[in-house]
């Protein structure tokens, strides 16, 4: 089944501050698309628009999930999670005073996800053996890499079709960044997920990307139809890598 996202002409901001200007982007079924850009260019805002946490002032966001199309603008975050879209928030945002297992079970808070709670928990423990070992440990006491695994696993607990990942590399050592990126690829192919990942770490992100967009000052500055196109591009060198 096709699970995809189409964003077109989205404008959004906070109060008087305009952050996104006429952003159009699509993620097709079972694709891994990266949204590249340095701090303050609107990556997180776009992700928040998708999750219903920020309401765009103009434009449409449409998701196709299991053959049905849904207009996401105007839906609440819970409803969007219910449709099968999950977010791994920037900076992991775990519940530090709850145990690993409690964090995971909270990922399945919605009634639709609750039904398959046990099965999804087994999935997560199968995928991340370390989390099973530490199931009774407080989430806040784990290392950064383990916390990122837990954040990914928590999102999987909703049994998503579309996974949004906001800056998975934040605060991680280079080796863990590369491991996290590998894990995302593994998850994507194993569950045939449609993935949109916002990331600053250009070199790591394009390793697993099918396509990518570069966002500069709230506008899509470049659209690359393959990892190669992103890699060998003067505009990216100039805007993004500062070379």
Partner 1 sequence: MHSRTFILVTIVVAAAVFFVAQLVANNYLFFAGYTVLQFVVLATAWNILGGYCGYVNFGSAAFFAVGAYSSVFLHKAYPLPIPVLILVAGFVAGVIGLGMGYLTLRLRGSFFAIATLALAVVLQTLVTNWDFVGGSRGAYVIRPNSLDVFGHQIPYIEYLFLQMLILAAVAIATARTIERSRLGYGFATIRDDELAAEAAGVPTLRLKLIATTLSGALMGMAGAPFPYYLGFLQPQSAFALEYAVNSIAMPMIGGTSSWIGPLIGALLLGIVQQVATVTISSAVNVLIVGVLLVAFVIIAPNGIVGFVRNLMRRGRS
Q: Which residues bind partner 1 (CB under 8 A)?
A: 51, 53, 76-78, 81-82, 86-89, 93-98, 102, 105-107, 109-110, 113, 154-155, 157-158
Pairing assessment for the beta strands 17-27 and 32-36 based on DSSP bridges: unpaired
Count CB-CB contacts under 10 A for residue 36. 27
Instruction: Return the number of the residue (2 or 106) whose C-beta is nearest partner 1.
Output: 106
CB 74 to partner 1: min, Å: 15
Secondary element (H or E) of residue 48: helix 43-50
CB 183 to partner 1: min, Å: 19
Instruction: Return the number of the residue (101 or 210) whose C-beta is nearest partner 1.
Output: 101
- Nearest-CA neighbor of 49 among 36, 39, 63, 37? 63
The two tokens of residue 173 are 């050592």
The two tokens of residue 66 are 């299991």
Question: How far, in Å, CA of 25 to CA of 10, rounded?
Answer: 9
CB 83 to partner 1: min, Å: 10
Instruction: Return the number of the residue (155 or 220) whose C-beta is nearest partner 1.
Output: 155
Instruction: Return the number of the residue (62 or 138) whose C-beta is nearest partner 1.
Output: 138
CB 95 to partner 1: min, Å: 4
Q: Are 2 and 31 in contact (CB under 8 A)?
A: no
CB 84 to partner 1: min, Å: 11
Q: Decide: helix, strand or coil at residue 111.
A: helix
Instruction: Return the number of the residue (15 or 242) whose C-beta is nearest partner 1.
Output: 15
């Amino acid at each position: 089944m096709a699970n995809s996202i189409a964003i077109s002409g989205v404008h959004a901001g906070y109060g008087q501050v305009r952050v996104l200007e006429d952003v159009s982007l699509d993620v097709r079924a079972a694709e891994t698309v990266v949204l590249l850009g340095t701090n303050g260019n609107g990556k997180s805002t776009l992700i928040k628009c998708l999750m219903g946490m920020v309401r765009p002032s103009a434009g449409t966001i449409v998701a196709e999930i299991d053959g049905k199309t849904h207009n996401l603008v105007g839906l609440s975050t819970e409803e969007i999670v219910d449709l099968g879209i999950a977010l791994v928030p920037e900076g992991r945002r775990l519940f530090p005073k709850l145990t690993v297992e409690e964090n995971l079970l909270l990922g399945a808070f919605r009634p639709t996800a609750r039904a398959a709670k046990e099965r999804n928990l087994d999935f997560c423990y199968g995928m991340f053996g370390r989390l099973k070992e530490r199931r009774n440990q407080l989430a806040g006491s784990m290392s950064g890499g383990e916390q990122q695994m837990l954040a990914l696993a928590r999102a999987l607990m909703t049994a998503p079709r579309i996974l949004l990942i906001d800056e998975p590399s934040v605060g991680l050592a280079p080796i863990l960044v590369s491991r996290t990126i590998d894990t995302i690829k593994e998850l994507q192919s194993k569950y045939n997920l449609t993935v949109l990942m916002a990331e600053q770490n250009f070199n790591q992100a394009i390793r697993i990307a099918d396509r990518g967009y570069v966002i500069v000052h709230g506008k899509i500055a470049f659209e690359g139809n393959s990892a190669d196109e992103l890699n060998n591009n003067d505009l990216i060198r100039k805007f993004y890598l500062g070379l």
